[in-house]
Structures are given as structure tokens and as C-alpha cells.
Chain A
Amino acid sequence: MNDKLFQERIDAEKKIEPKDWMPEDYRKHLIRQISQHAHSEVIGMQPEGNWISRAPSLRAKMILLAKVQDEAGHGLYLYSACETLGISREELVKQLHDGKAKYSSIFNYPTLSWADMGAIGWLVDGAAIVNQVSLQRTSYGPYARGMVKICKEESFHQRQGYEIMAEMAKGTPEQKAMAQDALNRFWWPSIMMFGPQDSDSPRTGNAMKWKIKRQFNDELRQKFIDQTVGQAEVIGLIIPDKDLKWNQQREHYDFGEMDWVEFWSVVNGNGPCNKQRLDHHKKAHDEGKWVRNAAKAYAKKQELVAN
């Protein structure tokens, strides 16, 4: 199969499967995007794991544990999808450790209070869902199937976060202030999760042509903002954007300028927690090495016994 036939299959909305011919750049683009997505799920366990031991009730603790376990699962679905492109799990982890592969910048912000668990579930998972719903229609079969599974599990994440925010917003003045503070800190990083404006996003062209991406960054961002504004109003919190207002003509909310200088600074390693997140992942990986070796030695021994 050549490029032209490949594009015809894409245009006909046929899924591409692991053994199908694909342009080298399509494969590379997918490996970069899926691995970044997988690493985000896994690194995303850290800011939330930070609060498991300090959750305010047993109910909250069980929910948070289940959620963090889901994130690990989502990471594994995505690593599996990525491995079908001919790259090993070990190589993917190595690329993360070497800084060659990125993860979503949102996880480089610290989680300072319990309300941050609410803000992450409501806003960060909320933004992720908008993106992932769109990616259920991506052209690469294993990635699309992974997205379907993830979307099924993700809505519990958003709802539990919104419930935390709603509870705190109607609590004591201090609790309400904590919820507002969490919203203030996570709002802008959340809407920047959709990536640069399409006019500044060099890779968008091929990704759309190959139907890896199905909607533009700005389109997805607008969708998320439109659906979130009303949710903030319901629980009496204020979105920290003075330019936010309904535009009757566009039938969308207008919103303020995003701080792309900060965005790129965090992407390039200068966020509050970049070093901490990577160091922790490396440490856990290194300290788990003896377990992996022991499991392997045990498997070998079992084989010897069986033969």
C-alpha cells in the first residue's frame, strides 16, 4: 500500500490496524501522542496520590484510591496501544526518563489543599474527557478502542471532583475560600491543556489530515469552557477570567488571553513540580527493579519445574 491508498482508507473512515501499512510519519506522530497521553495518566497519579493519606473521610479516601487506580489502568491501556506501533514499554519509559517524551503540563502544578482534588477531578478530568471523547474517533484502531474504554471510566472522575467542589463551596467560609482558590489556580492551566491555539500548532495539519485528531484545539477548548461556566455558577464559584462573557452572536463564551509564556515555560521544564514528578517516577522505577527481577526468576523456576 502506498500513501495514496492509505489516505483513501483514512478518508473513507476506515481504521488503521497494527499490521497495516502506514507512513512513517503517521507512526511517529502516533507514538509521540499516545506515549505522551500514557505518561500523563501515570504521572497524573502523583498529585492525587499526595492526598490519599490525608483524605478527610474514609469515603473520600476509598474514592480517591479507586480513581488513582483507574489512572494507572488508563496508562496501561495507552501503553498497550502504543506498543502495537513497534516500540517497547521499556523504551517508552526510558524516553520519559530522558525527557524525550513529555506528559501533560497540568501535572507539574502542586496540589496544596483538599479542594485541589475537587478542582482536578472537575476541571482537569473534565478537560481530558472533552479531548478523549473526540479521540474515540481517531483513525488508529488500538488508540480508538483505548479511548472508548477510558471514556467509560472517566465520568466518575469528573463527577467525584465536582461533588467535592460543591460540598466545599457550601461549607464554612474557609472551605468555600479553599474551593475558590483551587479554581483560581487550576482554571488557566486546565484550559491550556488543549494545547496552543491552532494558528500556533505546527503539527495540527498532518494530524487532522490523517484523522489522528478529529477536532481543533480551539474548538475543544471552547466546548469545555461553554459547558463548565454553568457548572461554576450552580455551585457559586467564580471563574477567574474578567473577560469571560456570553457572546450572543457566536453562541459561545468569549474568554481572556491565555499566558502562553507560562505554558511553554512549564512545558520546557520550569513548572513548580517538573523535577519532583520525574524524580519520583525514576525512583519508583529503580526501587521496583528487584521485584521485576524476582518475578522473572520465579517464572523461570516454574518453567524448569514444569519441564
Chain B
Amino acid sequence: MAENATVWEVFIQSKNGLAHKHAGNVHASDKVMALENARELYTRRNEGSCIWVVKSEYIVSSESEDSEAFFDPSNDKMYRHPTFYTMPKGSKHI
């Protein structure tokens, strides 16, 4: 694109029923062009059944340098996992 092109992140649903997954990005001046560019670039071999595009500037990301502190609160909550609990001997289907 021309100077200061808009970058769009591309998410592809490979098959009906599955979640959309990040595939990469494209440059485009508007949303229709973004979708068409994404189709040409990321689905030339039947990789998709649906595409989302979203302007990269709208993506908010956590900082990987802070990831330890950011994700720390989940570390000490083992009781969120089923293996934390002791089941009575002989109990089934639980």
C-alpha cells in the first residue's frame, strides 16, 4: 500500500465448527480489500472456511517480559484442577 499502509491481522477457521486461528497479517486500505488479500495470501490451498480480519492497532497484547507476574495468580490455585481432590475409594464415573 501507499505510505503508512494499514496492517490487518488475519484469523482463519480451517473447518466449520473449529475456532478461528491467527494466520498472519496483510496490508490493505479497507476491510473488503483486507478480506480479499487474506483469501489470496492464506487460503490458496483450501485452508479455510471463514476468515476474520481486524486492524492490528486494535489488538491488545500482554508483555512477554511481564508474563511471569501477569500469569502468576493462577499458579497457587491448584484447587481449580480436578486432580486436587481426593475421591472416596470405590467411587466411579467421577
Residues of chain A having any CB pair with chain B under 8 Å: 1, 17, 19-21, 66, 69-70, 73, 76-77, 80, 83, 88-90, 145-146, 149, 153, 289, 292-293, 295-296, 298-299, 302
Q: How far is the CB of A3 from chain B (nearest CB, A)?
A: 15
* Nearest chain B residue, comparing its CB with the CB of A289: B2
Contact call A296/B1, Cβ cutoff below 8 A: yes
Contact call A19/B29, Cβ cutoff below 8 A: no
Complex Cα distance, B67 from A17, in Å, reads: 13
- Within 8 Å by CB of B41, from A19, A66, A76, A295, lies A76
Complex Cα distance, B5 from A296, in Å, reads: 9
Q: How far is the CB of A258 from chain B (nearest CB, A)?
A: 36
Complex Cα distance, B43 from A70, in Å, reads: 11
Contact call B64/A298, Cβ cutoff below 8 A: no
B39-65: contact bitstring with A at CB < 8 Å (1 yes, 0 no)? 011001100000000000000010111
Complex Cα distance, B45 from A66, in Å, reads: 11
* Nearest chain B residue, comparing its CB with the CB of A81: B24
Taking CB atoms, residues of chain A closer than 8 Å to B61 are 19
Contact call A1/B65, Cβ cutoff below 8 A: yes
Complex Cα distance, B89 from A85, in Å, reads: 57
Contact call A89/B5, Cβ cutoff below 8 A: yes
Chain B, 11-54, CB within 8 A of any chain A CB: 24-27, 29-30, 33, 40-41, 44-45
Q: How far is the CB of B14 from chain A (nearest CB, A)?
A: 14
Residues of chain B having any CB pair with chain A under 8 Å: 1-7, 24-27, 29-30, 33, 40-41, 44-45, 61, 63-65
Total A-B contacts with CB atoms under 8 angstroms apart? 54
- Which secondary structure dominates chain B's binding surface? loop
Complex Cα distance, B24 from A83, in Å, reads: 12
Contact call B1/A73, Cβ cutoff below 8 A: no
Contact call A20/B64, Cβ cutoff below 8 A: yes
Q: How far is the CB of B59 from chain A (nearest CB, A)?
A: 12
Complex Cα distance, B45 from A153, in Å, reads: 9
Taking CB atoms, residues of chain B closer than 8 Å to A295 are 1-2, 29-30, 33
Complex Cα distance, B26 from A76, in Å, reads: 8
Taking CB atoms, residues of chain B closer than 8 Å to A80 are 24-25
* Nearest chain B residue, comparing its CB with the CB of A21: B65
Q: How far is the CB of B57 from chain A (nearest CB, A)?
A: 14
Contact call A293/B64, Cβ cutoff below 8 A: no
Contact call A77/B63, Cβ cutoff below 8 A: no
Complex Cα distance, B63 from A80, in Å, reads: 20
Contact call A77/B24, Cβ cutoff below 8 A: yes
A21-B65, A149-B24, A296-B1 known, 14 other contacts, Cβ within 8 Å: A19-B63, A19-B65, A20-B65, A66-B44, A77-B41, A80-B25, A83-B7, A88-B4, A90-B3, A153-B44, A293-B2, A295-B1, A295-B30, A296-B29
Q: How far is the CB of B3 from chain A (nearest CB, A)?
A: 6
- Given A292-B1, A296-B29, answer yes or no on A73-B24 (Cβ-Cβ < 8 Å): no
Complex Cα distance, B40 from A70, in Å, reads: 10
Taking CB atoms, residues of chain B closer than 8 Å to A89 are 1, 5, 27
Complex Cα distance, B42 from A188, in Å, reads: 34
Contact call B29/A73, Cβ cutoff below 8 A: no
Pairs A–B under 8 Å by Cβ, sample size 14:
A17-B64, A20-B64, A20-B65, A69-B40, A69-B44, A70-B44, A77-B24, A80-B25, A89-B27, A90-B5, A149-B24, A153-B44, A295-B30, A298-B30
